[in-house]
Structure 1
Amino acid sequence: MESNDVERLQDGLLQNECSEMYTGDGSVDINGNPVLKQTTGNWKACPFILGNECCERLAYYGISSNLVTYLTKKLHQENVSAARNVTTWQGTCYLTPLVGAVIADSYWGRYWTIAAFSTIYFIGMCTLTLSASLPALKPIECVGSLCPSATPA
């Protein structure tokens, strides 16, 4: 065997060895370097994602089942406007994952997209809880049959 053949064989072996170390699907880390198979994937983020999804679904269905009652009884909205607001809220909840999918696939990755949108969801839940709990954020109570509507603020 000539020395050129030996060099090509060694280069081929090194290339195969390197290709087995990396994911091979074009994945890059936060610095733009190819991702090592040993440090990516697996089940590291799975408990966070599953736990987050469980909590989100519980919160969503808890709110959606009571939101019309809250809007009509506590915020003194008419049935039509309360139903419209709930439908708008539900539609937004079901369409925003499409935006999240584009962001996750193109920019941030699955973990950071879920973390960012979970934070936004949590802030919204806290705001809703505060609006139902703090007396300063509640509308004026009904006096007899006179129920003033809540202000937009």
Structure 2
Amino acid sequence: MTTIQTDAPARPIIPPLGRVWAALAPLSPLIVRVTTGLLLMPHGAGKLFGLFGGYGIAGTGQWFDSIGFTPGWIFALGVGLLEFFGGLMLVLGLLTRPVAAAVVGFMAVAITIHLPNGYAWNAAGFEMPLFWGLMALSVMLRGGGAWSLDRLLGREF
């Protein structure tokens, strides 16, 4: 039986690139955290302020009402705040794990809402909530990282 040795570093196909990848690898958690936050923020801005083609709290609230989440305006406000200000907190790396955990929970609910539509996002499927939920899970497991306010403040959850 063959085993894979997981503690040995992989050898790059192009050896000089090994140093480049090793130098850039610490940026990976930062890129995932900041990208996740930045891409959540416009969705929150749409729900809260009607920006980026969103419907604001009233319009989004009507949609929540229509799917049985009542009173819809409270759900619109809560989700909008999480996406906008939670996204900003992820960008900054502030309370990273609790915010990411909240996003994971919200995306789990979003998946169940979109599940009847199938997988593809262009048919209102669950593809994007699944993707962003997994990105948030990655951030939650990793924490804010070296370039975060959590680290600067010396506090991580």
Common fold: TM-score over 0.5 = no
TM-score (norm 2): 0.33
Q: Which has the larger radius of gyration?
A: 1
TM-score by length of 1: 0.33
RCO comparison, higher one (Cα < 8 Å, 6+) = 2
